[in-house]
Structure 1
Amino acid sequence: MGIFKPKAWLSEVTDLDKTEPRSYKEALLHPRWKQAMLEEYEALIKNNTWSLTPLPKDRKVIDSKWEFRLKQTLSGEITRFKACLVAQGFNQDYGIDYFETFSPVVKPTTIRLVLLITLSHN
């Protein structure tokens, strides 16, 4: 028996569910988008992705914004409401505004390269 994750399908999809909000204010009016925002916030807190710190006098606040996406199957059925809080980091300076970067994605080519190097060194 293999390990699998059962698919959870959303029921009762309305016309309002088929559009992505353009702002966080719009998203807060819809329960499913509001839940998606709450899940994203809780994940950021749980993973210690960011922390609030006092703002130095010579620095500006780095803005952030919410991005909203509907995740769908190939047939168009909505499977997930996805909200991401992203920093508008084009104004950031390394060592001042941030100290490390985080990317949860590993490309298959990277895994193959690491395995190839490992095999070549026994």
Structure 2
Amino acid sequence: MKDELDALELNKTWRLVDCPAEVKPVGCKWVYRIKCKPDGSVDRYKARLVAKWFTQTEGVDFLETFSSVVKPATIRLVLALAFMKHWPIHQLDVNKLFYIGIFLRMFI
């Protein structure tokens, strides 16, 4: 849980602010998962802080939605740009999805 909170703070994905009286804040909860190795033994314990978006009503609490999923067309575009400009391409594992969003915003 501490790693997750540290990553959120480091990436500046949120900040504490006073909630206006007319706004209903969205709650959050911790989701836990046990990641296992192929032999079934415990590899690591994961914790993720998620918003309770299911408490909102469309048109009342929000007007539009956003999904932080990379579309295949976006990946093709970035790869095509890298090829045309002779940029090096490297594969890497990303610990937090937030980093992917920052990377793609640099090119789009």
Correspondence 1:45 to 2:14? no
**Which one of 65, 76, 87 corresponds to residue 112 of structure 1?**
76
- Structure 1 stretches of 4+ with a deviation exceeding 3 A read 100-103, 105-110, 116-120
Q: Percent identity?
A: 42
TM-score (norm 2): 0.56
Alignment correspondent of 1:82: 46
Report the CA distance between 1:59 and its aligned residue. 0.8
Correspondence 1:93 to 2:65? no
Unaligned runs of 5+ residues in structure 2 are 85-108
Change (3 A) 1:66 1:59: same
| Structure having greater relative contact order (Cα 8 Å, sep ≥ 6) | 1
Alignment correspondent of 2:104: none
TM-score (norm 1): 0.50
How many residue pairs are counted as aligned between the two chains?
80
Alignment correspondent of 1:4: none
**Which one of 26, 34, 44 corresponds to residue 62 of structure 1?**
26
Alignment correspondent of 2:98: none
Deviations 1:20-63 (A, max 9, x none): xxxxxxxxxxxxxxxxx111111111111111111111111210
Partner Cα separation in structure 1 for residue 16 and residue 26 of structure 2: 12
Unaligned runs of 5+ residues in structure 1 are 1-36
Report the CA distance between 1:94 and its aligned residue. 5.5
